[in-house]
Amino acid sequence: MLSRYFKGFKTMNILITQDKNIQFLFKLYYFIFLLIILSVLTSLIFTNNFYQKTVTTKNALINTDEKDLATIYISDLQTVKSLQQNELIHDFHIDNVRKTKIVPNIVIAQLPRDLKNIKSIKNRKDLFIKITLPLIVQENEKLLSLNKKIKSIKNSFDKISRKEADWVNKLMVKYRADTLDALLIKVDKIPVSLALAQAVIESGWGTSRFAYEGNALFGQYVWGSTNHGIIPNDRETDAKYKIKSFDSLSESVASYMKNLNTNFHYNEFRINRFVLRSNNIPLRGMYLAEYLLSYSIEDNYTDKIKNIIEINDFEDFENINIEKQLPLITDII
């Protein structure tokens, strides 16, 4: 014990010694120690910054919606080149979507105006699918969420709250339904292959004037001076209709799905969809296309839809889901 005490005493003597050489050495070692700590901390800071920069999304304006933090909105890419150079689009591979059944959670506001200038047909088709497919799946997920909530309220109708009753009433007005059962028939998803095929037909793979000028993917007609729309160049002199235009592509998709879910022309489509649902049979665009004869004046319109689905293997997209993981974004360049 005494030996340990004297060793400790000697150490203390070194620290309080008046020897200037020893004091200088001690200060030198202390300074070196501080430099090492400082360099380690600096290294950690720069390493973290570098990592964050490598996952920064470039060449895109991205707005985060408070209601859906996982959705990435791309709204300032006006040309094919700028869109293809975007990191999210560049890493978006159609073949991977077919395999994984997962599509990136991105929203592209509008079509590039020079989409029709892409010489490669395959590249043009791939880019169109990258733009429209996520929008279709996103809108379907909204409809499925509404459908689920309606079923929940129906199953516990005796306990419905005032707020829920008001919500259901507004939804009934929106979908022109007078009962919960009628509402369930109308509020449901549209087969992805069917929606994608119709977008292809009605917009010419995104190259039509209505598509790039008015974000109109589905060629919906509107009448009246107050409705936003584009007058077709070949419209008859006495005709009053226009092709409905939208502020964004997602609005076009939402309007198309509401049209199929509410318009009386598609009653048969909705009833057959409901029968499939009630019997736990998967929805197929190839089957339900039969009930869209009224969508176009073309006699072979349903066959056209089926051909587009078959040739492009659109049924591969029938049961895909939106990617739920929120990408790490630290800067917008």
| pLDDT value for 54 | 32
- Structure tokens that stand for 248 in this block: 């964004």
The per-residue pLDDT for range 184-215, each reduced to its tens digit, is 999 999 999 999 999 999 999 999 999 988 99
Better pLDDT: 30 or 278: 278
- Structure tokens that stand for 324 in this block: 């739920």
| pLDDT value for 218 | 94
Domain boundaries, the chain: 2-54, 132-322
Distance CA(270)–CA(50), nearest Å, equals: 53
Q: What DSSP string describes 78-112?
A: -SHHHHHHSHHHHT--HHHHHHH-EE--EEE-S--
Q: Are 217 and 259 in contact (CB under 8 A)?
A: no
The per-residue pLDDT for range 10-69, each reduced to its tens digit, is 444 544 555 666 666 666 666 777 777 776 666 554 444 333 333 333 333 333 333 454
Burial pattern 275-312, b for ≥16 Cβ within 10 A else e, equals ebbeeeeebebbbbbebbbebbeeeebbebbbebbeeb
The per-residue pLDDT for range 298-323, each reduced to its tens digit, is 989 999 999 999 999 999 999 999 98
Give the mean model confidence (pLDDT) for residues 86-90: 81
Distance CA(98)–CA(126), nearest Å, equals: 13
The per-residue pLDDT for range 159-189, each reduced to its tens digit, is 889 999 999 999 999 999 999 999 999 999 9
Share of the chain above pLDDT 90, in %: 53
| pLDDT value for 26 | 64
| pLDDT value for 189 | 97
Domain 132-322, classified CATH 3.40.50.2000, yes or no: no
Give the mean model confidence (pLDDT) for residues 98-110: 92
| pLDDT value for 36 | 76
Strand 102-103 relative to strand 321-322: parallel, antiparallel, unpaired?
Answer: parallel
- Structure tokens that stand for 24 in this block: 């200088």
